[in-house]
Amino acid sequence: MIDIHCHILPGIDDGAQHIDNSIDMAKAAVQEGIHKIIATPHHKNGRYDNTKQEIVEKVAELNNRLMDEGIPLTILPGQEPAINGELLEDVQKGEILSLNNTQYQFVELPSSHVPRYTTQMLFDLQLKGLTPVIVHPERNMEIQERPELLYNMIEKGALAQLTAGAVCGKFGKRVKNLSFDLIEANLVHFIASDAHNIYKRAFNMKQAFDIVESKYGFDMVYLFEENAELLVDGQNVYKEVPQHVKKKKFLGIF
């Protein structure tokens, strides 16, 4: 299993604070069946500004420590840049780190809304040869109210990554239900941990895939797991035709 979204690098954002925390997270990941993790520190989200070079160095240091500890886990470089007016310029300058140096690029939306320029920004990124991957859309408050916003992004070529903890109900019933709605509408292409520690923000990957398998069958689990593999290798991922999220009946009335 590959986890494409994780805050395992020590001391650079709100994830692991010390190398010992990183080692604890690595051991927990291996217990869940994870053998590769893309480290994705926050970038320009208002609190953290982790440069491409710093991340690459931290990844190398952690891999060396894991090898010394005999932990069968490989860390790959990545970044979680927040969407902002400078993102495209930073990409052009070569300052943004894609996922494992592939064409896949994480994009983090604000938690409260979808900026008006988002669609244009995602289009511009694609013109630069990148495939934007929207992280945890199920936790965006405006998408919760208007899931058609995510549909519009996916229909125009973006991808999306669901949080394992959301599938498991760690962010509440509303987010859990929306997660299932997005899966059923073919609006998400990956499930990843977004793990920050081994306590409140743990991996939850095995549990999430067990839930997905019980609800949708193993083929859906295979799609998500295979897409993570394809992403790491820079290959085209599996995409089903996106659908609009179906409105739920309330007391038998739409």
| Domains identified in the chain and CATH numbers | 2-232 (3.20.20.140)
> How many whole angstroms separate alpha carbon 58 and alpha carbon 74?
13
Q: Which pLDDT belongs to residue 248?
A: 64
Burial class (CB in 10 A: 0-12, 13-18, 19+), 114: buried
CB atoms within 10 A of CB 199: 7
Measured CA to CA in angstroms, residue 51 lies from 45, 101, 110, 190 at distances of 13, 14, 20, 25
Cβ partners under 8 Å of residue 89, min gap 6: none
Q: Which pLDDT belongs to residue 249?
A: 47
Rounded to two decimals, the pTM is: 0.95
> How many whole angstroms separate alpha carbon 74 and alpha carbon 51?
21
Q: Which pLDDT belongs to residue 254?
A: 44
For residue 229, the surrounding DSSP H or E stretch is helix 218-232
pLDDT in tens, the chain (254 residues): 999 999 999 999 999 999 999 999 999 999 999 999 999 999 998 899 999 999 999 999 999 999 999 999 999 999 999 999 999 999 999 999 999 999 999 999 999 999 999 999 999 999 999 999 999 999 999 999 999 999 999 999 999 999 999 999 999 999 999 999 999 999 999 999 999 999 999 999 999 999 999 999 999 999 999 999 999 999 999 999 999 998 764 444 44
Alpha helices in 70-217 (DSSP H): 87-92, 118-127, 141-145, 148-155, 164-167, 173-184, 205-216
Burial class (CB in 10 A: 0-12, 13-18, 19+), 247: exposed
